[in-house]
Structure 1
Amino acid sequence: MMFARFWTADAVSMLGTHVTTLALGILAMDQLGAGAADLGVLSAAQWLPYLLFGLLAGVLADRRRRRPILIGADVARAAVLALIPTLHALGALTLPVLTGLVAVFGTLSLLYDAAHQSFLPRLVPPERLITANARMEQTRAVTQTAGPLVAGWLVKAVGAPFAIVLDAVSYVVSALVLATIRVPETVPTPETRNLKREIRDGLTWVYRHPVLAPLALTSHVWFLFNSMVTPVFAFFVHKELGFDEFELSLTFAAAGVGTVLGASLSTTGTTRLGAGPVIVLGRWLTPAAFALIPFADATPTGLAILAAAQFTWGFGVGIDSPPEMGYRQAITPDHLQGRMNSTIRSLNRGMIVIGAPVGGLIAHHAGPRTAVWVGVTGLVVQAVAVTCSPVRRARIPQ
């Protein structure tokens, strides 16, 4: 029952998030004059707090009860998002202001994520973590499919600022649902707290573990080169090829369909093959998917190629994420969950801070197709590395 409520809250907020992901890009491009490099900076602003404060957020998640952090972060994120349409209506929204609000939103999301990934093992036993993560990944995928479609329709009908209101409302609903969850939570006593030592313990656990270390390091590389392609994709499709908002949303929706299918097969694949081989498969599918993008043109066939690329990318994420997250959660003691998750997630998001602007600059100076090929090359390197590492033999402890 408690997991079902947690699952529901996650689904509601994720739907709004996918609406805002597309709406923010359209708002920046069409009403604030953002180019490819500007979109890279805007994307980086959301993830910069993960690089700056990620380790501190992990310590906080291990020091405090996690449910209140989740609720507080949801309410605060709703307030920040509500400022965007308000400032736009007042004529006070500029690209620097939007970037600043996105950075504040990212800081709150960092706190939420640190508590969110660490809270799930409190709700389900270790042997059910893969299934629980797969269910949540399927739901995220459904919202990833529906969100862009809803956003594409809303942006076209009433404009991007109003579409962002839906996300603000979704966070309020999520907070209300989370408030109904009752689960015992214990925290360390004040005598055990030493910030420097707590951060060191989290880093040591992640980067000295024989499997967790290569899993984390290759994940960082994946995020670096994946983020070079992500903001460039929207610019390439909408501005260079000339597809409208709804057609762009169709390609993102295809990613959601792929993620649903991948997550549906993830548990079965992990049971039969083990977590490691499934993770490796997912890591190879990203460069395979992105390699399709440069061959698209401004025709229905080109749109189909772009949708196929997003579908394949989504399938890889869907099949890879549940065993990767389940393995991390299953092998990590509860008192290290927050620091483990935040250490990996903060550096992953920190890679976006580097990759997104670099991808935007490459696209600006050498063209979007060149930026995509650079991303594909780096993603192939990480796929080879994870294939040759102990990750391929990883199994979920029972």
Structure 2
Amino acid sequence: MLRQFLHLPRNDLLRDRIYRRLWTSILISSFGAQITLLALPLTAAVLLHATPSQMGILTMMETLPFVLLSLPSGVWLDRVKKLPIYIWGEVAISLAVFSVPVAWYFNMVNMPLLYVVGFVIGAVNTTAGSAAQIVLTQIVPRERLVEAHAKNALATSGAEIGGPAAAGMLVKLLSAPLALCADALLLLSSAAILRGIRVDEIRKPAQDAHFWRDLKEGVQFVFREPLLLSLAAAVGLWELCYNAALVVQILFATRVLGFSEQAVGFSYMGIGLGSIFASFVGHRVSQRIGPGPCMILGMIICGIGWSALAVAPVGPLGDFAFILMLICYSIGGVFIFINFLALRQSVTPEPMLGRMTSTMRWLIVLPAGPGALLGGWMGEHISLRSALAFAGITVLAGAFFAWRHKRIRELRKLPEIRQQHTD
């Protein structure tokens, strides 16, 4: 049997059939996401010769739905079953990415279409992504959430090892638009696996449902919880820096370092290597130094990667710096998010999870759009290196201030759920 082959410990989460099914779905959809992660921007950068500003707009279009839809979707999610939303979200993204190769076949692919696809992906992720995070809390005990997020990161990491290389080869052999067909098929497979999951859900009684009151309660819950606000500030700053760097990194690889599409794909395997390492050690590091310090360490690692690439020369050192940046980003990102997700879920009562999740996602993604636009503007009007330097220096400064903030620095274990505030 598979679990005997893997020699899983007796109490390993993957021994649970329901969680194992969820984990498998995450692995498959993450593999497809790696294809889109490369194929969509490569379609813009190589096929359509997009400018840095256009790349910034494309990235912003994927984050804009979080700003527009996060809060109302949180109220809605607390009233409905989350698993069906998660499943249909996979299907919707599959259809969105499939529209690109169809448009390419009819010679109709252009930047406005990619903007629309990016917006649709972001809109679905706003709702289905929040639903997916809540489904995890319905399957896994709260005291094992950090472990679960680490294992989920491991599934994502496995996809990040093989996904970019496969994506690069698909782009090289078929073209970037056609490579997106593979993601569409993988997402449909993920949705089929999720259909086999059964969870017990607590929903708000219909007679107690009042949209604006519920929305207000969710926002107030977050703003009255100092820990959630501190986490949102730290991760929001990271999102700003990440998106500023994300906008220019493929342009930097292809136009400054001279990478081919396939070379970009193989380089992105660095994300998988870093993520797998971080997934194995992240839970242990968090237990040893605490969730708060582990998040700060993640910010520092990301800052080092972006800063190093900003000053790297063209040539072998530059190629190495690009791969190092991807490894640092993945390690740092895992360290940040396995703790961030577990911390915010650990202090939130289950009936409030949908609104808390959406409010927190709204807060942290709010800076992402400006970060993408700023990175694109800097890349076009100053230099691609300037956007990377901005991301690196700013996130390192954020880590310094987070360390000086006792609420994060002294956070050594997951806190207990606090009573919900009501007026």
Pick the TM interval, shorter chain.
over 0.9
Q: Tell me by how many angstroms 1:186 deviates.
A: 2.4
Distance 1:209 1:346 in 2: 16
What is the aligned counterpart of 2:335 among 319, 334, 357? 319
Distance 1:297 1:248 in 2: 18
- The residue identity in structure 2 corresponding to 1:391 is I
Aligned to 2:262: 246
Aligned to 2:14: none
Distance 1:297 1:354 in 2: 28
1:224-271: CA deviation from partner (whole Å, max 9, x where unpaired): 122111111111111122111122223321122111111211111122
What is the aligned counterpart of 1:301 among 304, 317, 326? 317
Counterpart check, 1:67 vs 2:83: yes
1:307-340: CA deviation from partner (whole Å, max 9, x where unpaired): 1121122111122221221111122111111111
Kept after mapping to 2: 8 A contact 1:215/1:386: no
Matches within 5 A, 1:328-343: 328-343=344-359
1:161-213: CA deviation from partner (whole Å, max 9, x where unpaired): 11101111111111111110011112111122122222222222222212221
Structure 1 stretch displaced more, 159-168 or 188-197:
188-197
Kept after mapping to 1: 8 A contact 2:257/2:319: no
1:337-391: CA deviation from partner (whole Å, max 9, x where unpaired): 1111111212323322111111011110000111112222321232122212201
Aligned to 2:414: 396
1:25-63: CA deviation from partner (whole Å, max 9, x where unpaired): 111112112111111111111111011111111112111
Aligned to 1:258: 274
Aligned to 2:394: 378
Counterpart check, 1:8 vs 2:24: yes
What is the aligned counterpart of 2:245 among 215, 224, 229? 229
Kept after mapping to 2: 8 A contact 1:279/1:392: no
Matches within 5 A, 1:1-398: 1-389=17-405, 390-394=407-411, 395-397=413-415
1:115-147: CA deviation from partner (whole Å, max 9, x where unpaired): 011111100111111111100011112212222
Aligned to 2:5: none
Structure 1 stretch displaced more, 320-329 or 128-137:
320-329
What TM-score do the two structures reach when normalised by structure 2? 0.91
SS at match of 1:188: coil
Which 4+ stretches in 1 moved above 3 angstroms?
A: none
Structure 1 stretch displaced more, 152-161 or 371-380:
371-380
Q: Tell me by how many angstroms 1:158 deviates.
A: 1.1
Distance 1:301 1:25 in 2: 25
Q: Tell me by how many angstroms 1:295 deviates.
A: 2.6
What TM-score do the two structures reach when normalised by structure 1? 0.97
**Which sections of structure 1, spanning at least 5 residues, go unmatched?**
none
Q: Tell me by how many angstroms 1:75 deviates.
A: 1.2
- The residue identity in structure 1 corresponding to 2:85 is I
SS at match of 1:292: helix
- The residue identity in structure 2 corresponding to 1:11 is L
Distance 1:165 1:346 in 2: 30
- The residue identity in structure 2 corresponding to 1:54 is S
SS at match of 2:78: helix
Kept after mapping to 2: 8 A contact 1:287/1:379: yes
- The residue identity in structure 1 corresponding to 2:397 is V
Over aligned residue pairs, what C-alpha RMSD do you find? 1.4
- The residue identity in structure 1 corresponding to 2:252 is F
Identity, in percent, stands at 28
Structure 1 stretch displaced more, 125-134 or 337-346:
337-346
Structure 1 stretch displaced more, 290-299 or 365-374:
290-299
Choose between structure 1 and 2 for higher RCO, CA contacts under 8 A separated by at least 6 residues. Answer: 1
